[in-house]
Chain A
Amino acid sequence: DAGVTQSPTHLIKTRGQQVTLRCSPKSGHDTVSWYQQALGQGPQFIFQYYEEEERQRGNFPDRFSGHQFPNYSSELNVNALLLGDSALYLCASSLASGGHKGFGNGTRLTVT
């Protein structure tokens, strides 16, 4: 029973570019949440997807967008990358009814 999987593991982009990160939830989970963790900080909630719609959003600009597919997997897109977007991006999955939230291994994004 696979847990939460994320790809790619590492990514280097140039300022102004766009990036797409991917997440497959734990089997049986239907809700995916994305978090940004800057170096030395706690994770910050970006948004959550359920039934292919954004259900809740944190304090992030519109440059951050996402998508959820019928198989519950999800993508995080970031446009017009800034140096400050360099961080570890974490995906968590859970059931819509709540409960345990398991995290993937993350994607480390470096913007140069």
Chain B
Amino acid sequence: QKEVEQDPGPLSVPEGAIVSLNCTYSNSAFQYFMWYRQYSRKGPELLMYTYSSGNKEDGRFTAQVDKSSKYISLFIRDSQPSDSATYLCAMSVGKANGANSKLTFGKGITLSVRP
């Protein structure tokens, strides 16, 4: 089993839809959870991050972490064509020194929002 599993997609939704993107993980040491967004022909950029369990909201985006189920989600409300991109989840054990500095990424899911 891979440490991080992400729904493979692709996903296509109409404009205005609510989108739910999910990742599961197996390493209970993960403490810090991130979502990256990658537009075509660009590098990934951090969209949101959360520590441990709970929800975090930023405009139309909500990140949710359930550590008991080892499950994280990203919700996009009122999706827009400009949200069309690849979304990657990423996780860290919560230290970023030395050999602990690496992140573990999901494979990414490509979202297309149709006008």
A and B interact physically? no
